[in-house]
Structure 1
Amino acid sequence: MRDLDETDMEILSLLAENARRPFSEIGDVVGLSGPAVSDRVERLREAGIIEGFTIEVDRAQLRAGVPVLVRVELPTGSLEPARERVRDTDGVEHVFVTADGGLLFYARLEARNVRQWIETRFEGIETADYTVTLVDDVEWTPSVDGVEFALACAECGNTVDSEGETARIDGELYHFCCPSCLSRFEDRYRRLEERA
């Protein structure tokens, strides 16, 4: 896998601004044809750098409730069940886990009693405390500028650089830092297939 070049980074920046931008328009900016941009985007997707294309819905336009930022402090062992519960709740748009093990999420709540809404969501899950902050305005500006991408070797976890190897095994694309890691991975893969 070769390193990402300036054109790849520019394509990523343009897609981060507007994921629905036509490839021909991106090509005009970066000096490539639409099909060439499409090929690069597909390569970035196969490499796992682009995981998908999403939309950001302005729920205010849908009259879908009051925007709030909720921070929940959880005792050890409660984080995963709480995160799963929040992630699967309608109206919750972003879920974060803080470095100190707290849970933070942005939601639009239709409930008139926020305290009751939160207590209902966490019923059966122990919580230490929570705070709710009313959000006045939200701005989301994704950026890939200044970000370095590094692929990890599927065998040893080291960074894959321009001297690395790429292989498609059973339809899946894998990246390796060196030929010996590729060889070890393929050998282990064959042994596992033989046992199955």
Structure 2
Amino acid sequence: MAELVSERVNAAEQRPVAPVEAWSADLVTRSGYAFHVRPASPNDEAALAEFFTHVDKEDLRFRFLSAIQKVGHDQLKALVMVDHQRTENFLAIEPETGLIVATAMLAADETLTNAEVAVAIRADFKRGGISWTLLDHVARFAVSKGIRTVESMESRDNHEAIELERERGWTASACPGDPTVMVLRKKIDATHA
């Protein structure tokens, strides 16, 4: 699929379509909620800063695995200045308002074999299936890159995320050296994405 994406041509302009553009999509959750997803760009820093003010404090702690009150410039920069090869940050956008409602970052190792994913969602958009649908999109992207294993580091207290991932076929194990963290892992291939 990656070869097809890089070879696609925009007929109107007769130039290759950037792979980043190819990963923009309109998605629909199991509950019928429609949203747009696209890779983040440097222009999204202010909108992401606003987004994180609507994420529960406890979810911020789970997402960043530390007790933070506000997502700072350096953290935001890491979310928007990605290489789009080993690292990608997907933004779920509410189509009517343009608000960022969720984000899912994937960071792969140098061999593009294993990757870690981290998801955050606005408090007022939880429980609508956005996280599941976004994780499926991330899995398709990972498969296109040849990534075979995706991991998520979760606080043991984040029962909601752990349960979500288990329902999606992830396995949980203790994190060596840190009893407060669980490692959730899923092997993926083209049939699972």
Q: Please give the range of the TM-score, normalised by the shorter of the 2 chains.
A: under 0.3
TM-score by length of 1: 0.21
Determine which structure has more spread, i.e. the larger CA radius of gyration: 1
TM-score by length of 2: 0.22
Higher relative contact order (CA 8 A, sep 6+): 1
| Greater share of strand | 2
